[in-house]
Amino acid sequence: AGRAGAVAVRELRYNWREPRRRSSWMAAVLFGGIGPFIALRQDEASGTGAVYICCLTAAVIGLQAVNQLGVDGAATWMHVATSRDTRDIRADFAGRNLALAVIGVPILLLLSVSLAAWAGTADAAVEPFAVAGAILAISLGVGNVASVVAPFPLPEGSTNVFSGATAGQGCLAGLVVTVLRARRDEAT
């Protein structure tokens, strides 16, 4: 119920039907589902400590929160226009984080239990899952700050999964913007 719930439902729908968001989830699932098992297979002597590889997956899932405003594009202004005060903005971010957690936490739980079972002790999944959950929460918080401080636009057409921003808007442009902002802040 409320604004946060409405935003969460919207984000869940977008995560299901928008190609760019689905590709981010597929990357997180593939990285989190295949990578840890390969690492665990190659280092079987590590035992239950290898279950903590699920923490990397939590960080990858949390990366999806880094550019929450840029992914929405022009639709962000709908949220801005309907916000009455800072509580509405916080509710928007809470809804976005809730949607990421609704998808990400079950993935982390399944991965933790699977890795622990693969390592030979299924009861060793609790602590790595808790650490992964904490890493996910921290990643979401950092992502919220990054989304507000340094959003970057994405192209309007979302049919191409690999589309980036317009020409010249890649990592180099992001670095230039960061340097220019730092210089501006030093001057003021």
pLDDT in tens, 94-153: 999 999 999 999 999 988 888 888 777 777 888 889 999 999 999 999 998 888 888 777
Is residue 108 packed enough to be buried (19+ CB in 10 Å), middle (13-18) or exposed (0-12)?
Answer: buried
Give the Cα separation of 66 and 86 in Å (integer): 20
- Residue 72: partners with Cβ closer than 8 Å, 6 or more residues away: 79
The predicted model gives 74-94 an average pLDDT of: 79
Q: Which of 81-95, 130-144, 158-172 bottoms out in mean pLDDT, i.e. has the lowest?
A: 158-172
Q: Mean pLDDT: which of 11-15, 47-51, 136-140, 149-153 is highest?
A: 136-140
- pLDDT value for 135: 94
Would you say 15 and 99 are in contact if contact means Cβ atoms under 8 Å apart? yes
Query: Alpha-carbon distance 100 to 25, whole Å?
Result: 10
Helical spans, DSSP H, in the chain? 2-17, 19-42, 54-62, 68-72, 76-82, 86-119, 126-149, 171-187
Angstrom distances, CA of residue 70 to CA of 33, 34, 66, 160: 27, 29, 9, 16
Mean local confidence (pLDDT), 21-44: 74
